[in-house]
Structure formats: structure tokens, C-alpha cells
Structure 1
């Protein structure tokens, strides 16, 4: 009889004086148990499309390293790289303008693009003036240390990069991790450029680095809101370009990169889908209460 009275008068309050022990729970305690209440199952195709952003970012890193290797060996004329960078900047600028036309007003669009062009010219001139200094920046450091430092910075860049889609209304805001990722990539490009033989090669490589690691990631994230076909085309183009540039340099590296792309794009999503069945999150009355805030409420 006392047990039934305890069940009837049980409350989740420890500060009250009660007639039952503190560790007592009623028989109905587990009736509100919920398993995986916030679980949202992923589909394989959805994860593959999301993984394309990672493949695109890794492809840009590989393309940059391939270009650096050719500049380092003297197999690529720096002037060709400069013109290619200018052309790619024009294509990216036009793509960003087309994306902005869907959301921004014409007046604000014209003003923002004018500022972008002005900033680009200033960066262009700054790189030209700093190239002689950057070429001798690590003259007293061994090449082995430079390669190791560059590799660590690029790994940090890939880990901290933001691979989420960028909504149009939030395209002016950046996460701290994406800023750190960009800084790591630019720092790696600077130390690599210090090993090049000429000032023009340093300027060309850093110009390409700014486009790949500072300008392209926000554009890539905005393109993730476009149809799936656009993502497939961009991933195929970047991945194919990275493999085509790596193949003349090293066949084993090309095979390793191909396997990495396949794993990131196709195998890893499958592993995640398979692992979903082991997810077991239990929620119940023992969880702390979550306050509900009325956003429409006003305070005087």
C-alpha cells in the first residue's frame, strides 16, 4: 500500500521533504523512454554529394602542389601561370556575380563588386612588391624543414576548412575555423614560394594561392546550393585536373590520390550509412529540463 502511495505522489524534486527514499522511482519511470528522438537517417546519395566538397578542396591542394613542383623544376613559365590566374579570376568573378544577381539588389551588387576589384588590384600590387622579400624569407632554413612545415599546414588547412553550403544571406560571415584554414594554406604557400628561383615565380605562385585558398572556398560553398549536376561537374573537373597534373610527375602518387578520392567520395559515405544502425541515444525523464524561450515575448 505504501508503495502505491509512493508511485502516486512521486515527483522529480529533490528539495522537497518526501515520504519515500531519494533513490525511489515509480514503475512508470521508463514509460517515457525515447530512443534516438533526434535521429535523422542519412542516405548514401546525400552523403556522396556532401563529400564532393571535400574532394574539391583536396583537389585544389593537389593542383597547387603540382604547379609548385613544375615551377620549382623550371618546367612551367611563371608568365603562363599569371595569365591563367587572371583568367580564372575573371571566370570566378563572373560566377559570383551571377550568383549575387539572384539575391542582391543591383545597386548594392555594383558597389560590392567595385570594392572587390579595388581590393584585388591592391593585393596584386602588394604581391609584386613583396615577392623579392618572400623569395629569401627562408633562405637559412633547410628544404626538409620547409617540406615538413608545408605538409603540416596543408593538413591543418584541410581539417579546418568549412565544407558546408553557404547560404546567400550569410555569405558575408565566416567561421573562425575557415579563417584559420585559409591562413594555414597561405602560410604554406609562402614558405613554398620562398624556394622558387625567381621573383616572378614567387609572385605567380602566391597569386594562385590567394585564388585557390582565399577566393575559391567561399565561391565553392555558394555553388553547393546549386543543382547537384553542378557539384558533379565541378568535382569531376577539379579531380580530373589534379590527377592529370600529377600523373607526369609520379605514377604512385597518382594512384594514391585516386584511391583517396574514391575513399572520401564513395567509401566513407557508405561506412557512415552502415554505422547508423549502431546509433543508440536514449532520452527520458531523467534528462535535464530544456527551457522553452518564446522569441515573440517582449520585455519592458
Structure 2
């Protein structure tokens, strides 16, 4: 006697004597799949990927340390302006060296456009500094600190940490919101500085850290691993050293956050992989395959 299930086929376009969701018992568990798209992680590749987050957090700590030193008048704002200009020149030279802009026929034209935009930004910040210094004169300092903290948290959460194409001029919505949050936090903090020169220096520094460096970081992620790790280590050491000048407690907190982000968090992710258990089988909703 023939098995009545032999004439069954897994199709819906043919009328059969079985329900649409019928599967023979001998085939039900044969189609079982566990973690079909599972890709095990390795520790050191995760550490390298987490360096982008470490750099971003280190930059936030560096900015906060510079703000405190400007507010307490322990840092000359003119020195900060000179440092910002020097960092811009070094960063732009490194950007050109890592890229392939030399092969572009509009190479020198792009340089002139960049120089023109930089000068316009420099003059705009200089003219707006007196306005920014008195922007939050009627707001209490406690509200300013809370607002700046919330904006920096938004900046860290929405930042783009992926290694995208550095030649792509289009930025995602989250990247734009992240940059706007950081610049807004810089504006409210700069309004607490005593002089116009201090406001100008801090805003120029913030534009480099939160608007230009994320673009530069995307190109660094596609460069050599040794340079990527060296810059991460340098920013982390600089952040810890600047925080040590302010408070030992804040320094150890900064060190703990950066260490956890770089070394501990990847290990926790690898440890949690053992509990990943996604089961798929014929009971799942059908997914159409369109050519």
C-alpha cells in the first residue's frame, strides 16, 4: 500500500487534499535550522571596531577638559586657537595623503574651495562670539550643565561609528543629528566663558572635534590598522592626562569608561554569543523569493 503522503508537494498553486500549512511528520524536524545566519565574532577584530567608539568618547572628554580650563582661566584661549589651526593643517595634510585626491583633475580646485570654506567659518565664528557669550545669560548654570550632558549623550548615541566610504558626501540623518547635538552643547557651554576670545577658541575647537574629525575618522578606519590603533591610544592617553589635571576621581572614571569600551565590552559580546538561539523551520511565515 502506498504512503498517502508521497503525492504531497510543498506548493500552494496546486490544489491538494492537505491543508495549506500541512507538513509531513518525517519532514517537519528535518527542516529545523538553529542560528542560520550566525556569524561568530573574534575578540581582536571587535576591539579594533570598538576603537571608533573609544575615540569619540575620548574626544568628548578632551573637549570637556578644555572647557573647564578655559572657564578657570588656566588655559590661554589664544594658544587654543593656534593649536586648533595647527591641528586642522595636520589633519588636512593627512587626509590628502591617505586619499586619492591627487588623481582627481579638480585637485587644486578642491583645495581652494576647502581653504575658502575654512576662512569663512573662521570669520563667522569670530563675529558670532560676542553673541554666543551672552546667549544664556538668564539661564542658571545647573540647567546649562544638565542640558550639555543630555546633548553629549545624544551625540554619543547617534554618532556614526561605521567605516563608510570617505568619498561619499552624503551623511545619514543620525550623523547630522549627532553633530548638531554636540555643536549645540558646545554653544551652551561656551556661553559660560568669561571672554569673547575664549568663546571663539572653544567653538573653533568644537567644530574640529565634532564636525570635521568624524569625517576624518571614516578615512582612518579604511587605512592601516597600526595608524588606527596609534591614534586611538593617543586620544585616550590625552583624555586621561587632561582629566588628571582637573580631578583624580574624574580621571579614573574616564580611564574606566575607555577601558570598558575598548577591552571589556567586546569580551562581554563574545561571552553572550553562547546564549544566541534562533530556531527556524517550516512553521515560520513564508518569505517570498523574488528574482
TM-score of the pair, normalised by structure 1? 0.91
C-alpha RMSD of matched pairs (Å): 1.8
Range 35-44 or range 129-138, more displaced: 35-44
- Within 2, Cα distance between the matches of 1:30 and 1:12? 18
Alignment correspondent of 1:297 = none
SS at 2:64's partner residue? helix
User: 2:158 — aligned with what?
Assistant: 160
Measured after TM superposition, the shift of residue 23 of structure 1 is 4.9
CA spacing shift, 1:106–1:23, aligned 2, 3 Å: closer
> Displacement, 1:282?
2.5
Partner SS for 1:204 = helix
Deviation per CA, 1:12-60: give whole Å up to 9, x if none: 43x8654234553212133222222222111000000111111100010
The equivalent of 1:221 in structure 2 is: 218
Identify the residue that residue 58 of structure 2 maps to in structure 1.
Answer: 59
Which of 146, 149, 152 pairs up with 2:147?
149
Deviation at 1:225, TM superposition (A): 1.1
Provide the rounded CA distance (Å) in 2 between the counterparts of 1:24 and 1:187: 59
Q: Secondary structure at the match of 1:248?
A: helix
Native 8 Å contact 1:100 1:109 kept in 2: no
- Given that 2:35 and 2:276 are in contact with CA atoms closer than 8 Å, whether structure 1 keeps it comes out as yes
Matching residue of 1:20 = 18
1:10 and 1:25 in contact (8 A); partners too = no
CA distance in 1, matches of 2:167, 2:102: 9
Q: How does 1:26-175 map to 2 (within 5 A)?
A: 26-27=24-25, 28-101=27-100, 105-170=103-168, 172-175=169-172
1:227 and 1:36 mapped to 2: Cα distance? Answer: 33
TM, length-normalised to structure 2? 0.94
Pairing 1:218-257 to 2, within 5 Å after superposition: 218-257=215-254
- Supply the distance in 2 between the matched residues of 1:54 and 1:197 (Cα, whole angstroms): 32
Count of residue correspondences: 289
Structure 2: segments with no counterpart, 5+ residues? none
Cα distance in 1 for residues equivalent to 2:130 and 2:252:
37
The residue aligned with 1:185 is 182
Distance 1:7 1:186, change over 3 A: farther
Measure, in 2, the Cα distance between the counterparts of 1:5 and 1:123: 79
Q: CA deviation at 1:167?
A: 2.4
Match of residue 288 from structure 1: 286
Q: How far apart are 1:99 and its partner, in Å?
A: 1.9
The answer on 1:200 being equivalent to 2:211 is: no
